[in-house]
């Protein structure tokens, strides 16, 4: 998940943990709202009953009937009485609350709801105890939903929204990281898109994940058809014409014998492309649903709700919400770099850029973190399956130290491994002229900077020719350095290689350990 999607998820989780009635997630088509909803469903405790409304173009009786059907609430056949539906649902909500259960209605494409239906949903949330409402509603919708809720006749509903988040498209940097991550998961370790292609892709997709997936999928297939090993801007432009309906740009097709001869390779390529889009391409058939055995049981046979033991109590900050936890973890990370004014109103990546830094999200192992040697925000999971965040500030072979504001806790690395799936975010400082990764044969200010670093490492006089390219002796130095650091010797200078270079030449940045790699 990108940082934006993690923040959106944290807002939804926070909303569910409050006592309010409504949680709102908006965004343009294809920005990942449904994916975030899926991740939310995976983290909702088993004592939560979910009603999922996929087709909101309904009348009030139809909506109430849909909620009853989703929650398996019995109602009279052919009933159209709103009062009977409401009485039936209210009885269910009271029964659920008595049994220690929570009820949530999730409405997708909520911008299609009529004013009357929205008002009825608000009335449903009127039922409450002294401490909390008995029904919570999560609405997912396009930007028009925000405009609808701003109408005077819906002001009462708008005032009940306890958490809201508008999902923006990915930035260029986030998009490049997203593509690299998906290809890495598919087992591809070399770049398949040039820097120019990435820029073109952003121009064509606007950073919308669904369009990114579609264009990458078709472009990778097109590269195979044309027997190219990398996707270049011209091919991507042709792909876009085909994808967006301009048949004049349609790619040529190989002969049937060519397809048969290379079928296995084709399947590999399309599988890679498909995996690149898998994260965002989710269908409603995959929504986790509760079995009949998980639905409400009669009160007579109900056992009192038991709170499970938190096996991860050593490092789980139970006293704060998950949303606050993410913010405080990022604040602690930036404090390590001397920046104390980070606020959640701005994305961590944007804040880092404003201060000459970069915010990098990766997956790896404790060994990866040790080699990168930077404080990092780790994405962890408690025994409920809920995500939380902690700032790793020190790491040894057997102990990890986390900071929560003014306090810190140390845990055994063996305990940490049980809670961590490998996702982390760190801050690093790029050279002044760094924009994107540099490749063999590139030239410019970054190449001269790189030459100076390797000249210092090898104690030789640097070649400061303005026309210097990443080739020859400099490229050989780069290969040798990458090998010595346990990196893939691909001749590409990206964030990981630059961080390792900083570890060798710079002692001013914050580190997890005082030992620099030699």
pLDDT tens readout for residues 205-252 = 988 988 998 999 899 988 888 888 888 889 999 989 888 875 444 434
Q: What is the pLDDT of residues 401-438, one digit of tens each?
A: 998 767 888 988 888 887 887 889 999 999 988 988 89
Domains in the chain, ordered, with CATH?
3-168 (3.40.50.300), 172-278 (no CATH), 322-428 (3.90.70.10), 445-505 (1.10.101)
How many DSSP H helices and E strands does the chain contain? 20, 11
Q: What angle do CA 149, 155, 156 make, to 5 degrees?
A: 120
> How far from the centroid of its chain's Cα atoms is residue 94's Cα?
36
Prediction pTM value: 0.49
The residues, any chain, with a CB within 8 Å of residue 502's CB and separated by 6 or more, are 428, 429, 509
Q: What is the pLDDT of residues 155-208, one digit of tens each?
A: 888 888 888 888 888 888 788 888 877 777 777 767 788 888 888 999 999 889
- Comparison of pLDDT for 94 and 383, the residue scoring more: 94
- Please, which residues bridge with residue 25 across strands? 140, 165
Banded model confidence at residue 497, pLDDT cuts 50, 70, 90? very high
- Confidence (pLDDT) at 163: 82
Task: Give the integer Cα–Cα distance in Å for 302 and 100.
Answer: 10
Mean per-residue pLDDT over the chain, rounded: 79
* Helix (H) / strand (E) containing 478: helix 472-484
Reply yes or no on whether the pLDDT at 42 is more than 80: no
């Amino acid at each position: 998940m990108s940082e934006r999607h993690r923040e959106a998820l944290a807002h939804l989780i926070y909303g569910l943990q409050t006592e309010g009635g409504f949680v709102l997630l908006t965004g343009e088509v294809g920005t990942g709202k449904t994916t975030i909803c899926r991740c939310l469903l995976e983290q909702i405790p088993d004592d939560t009953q979910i009603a999922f409304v996929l087709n909101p173009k309904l009348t009030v009786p139809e909506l109430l009937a849909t909620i009853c059907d989703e929650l398996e609430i019995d109602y009279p056949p052919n009933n159209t009485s709103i009062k009977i539906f409401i009485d039936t649902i209210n009885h269910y909500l009271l029964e659920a609350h008595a049994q220690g259960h929570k009820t949530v209605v999730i409405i997708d494409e909520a911008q299609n709801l009529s004013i009357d239906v929205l008002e009825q949903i608000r009335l449903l949330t009127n039922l409450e105890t002294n401490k909390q409402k008995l029904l919570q509603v999560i609405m997912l919708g396009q930007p028009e939903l925000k405009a609808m809720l701003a109408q005077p006749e819906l002001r009462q509903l708008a005032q009940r929204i306890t958490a809201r988040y508008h999902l923006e498209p990915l930035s260029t940097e986030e998009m490049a990281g997203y593509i690299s991550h998906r290809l890495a998961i598919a087992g591809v370790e070399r770049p398949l898109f040039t820097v120019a292609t990435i820029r073109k892709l952003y121009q064509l997709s606007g950073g919308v994940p669904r369009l990114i997936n579609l264009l990458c999928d078709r472009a990778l297939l097109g590269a195979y058809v044309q027997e190219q090993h990398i996707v270049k801007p011209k091919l991507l432009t042709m792909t876009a014409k085909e994808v967006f309906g301009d048949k004049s740009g349609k790619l040529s097709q190989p002969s049937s014998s060519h397809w048969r001869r290379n079928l296995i390779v084709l399947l590999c390529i399309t599988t890679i492309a498909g995996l690149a889009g898998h994260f965002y391409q989710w269908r409603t058939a995959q929504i986790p649903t509760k079995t009949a055995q998980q639905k409400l049981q009669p009160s007579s046979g109900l056992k009192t709700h038991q709170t499970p033991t938190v096996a991860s109590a050593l490092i789980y900050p139970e006293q704060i919400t998950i949303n606050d936890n993410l913010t405080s973890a990022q604040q602690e990370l930036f404090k390590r770099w001397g920046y104390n004014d980070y606020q959640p109103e701005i994305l961590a990546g944007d804040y880092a850029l404003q201060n000459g830094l970069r915010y990098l999200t990766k997956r790896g192992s404790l060994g990866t973190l040790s080699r990168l040697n930077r404080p990092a925000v780790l994405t962890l999971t408690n025994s409920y399956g809920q995500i939380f965040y902690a700032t790793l500030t020190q790491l040894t072979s057997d102990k990890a130290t986390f900071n929560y504001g003014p306090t810190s806790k140390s845990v055994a690395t063996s305990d940490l491994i049980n809670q961590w799936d490998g996702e982390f975010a760190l801050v690093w400082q790029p050279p002044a002229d760094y924009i994107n990764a540099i490749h063999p044969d590139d030239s410019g200010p970054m190449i001269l900077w790189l030459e100076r670093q390797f000249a210092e490492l090898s104690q030789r006089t640097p070649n400061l020719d303005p026309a210097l390219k990443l080739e020859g002796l400099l490229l050989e130095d780069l290969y040798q350095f990458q090998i010595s650091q346990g990196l893939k010797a691909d001749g590409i200078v990206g964030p990981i290689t630059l961080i390792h270079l900083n570890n060798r030449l710079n002692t001013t940045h914050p580190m997890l350990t005082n030992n620099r790699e030699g």
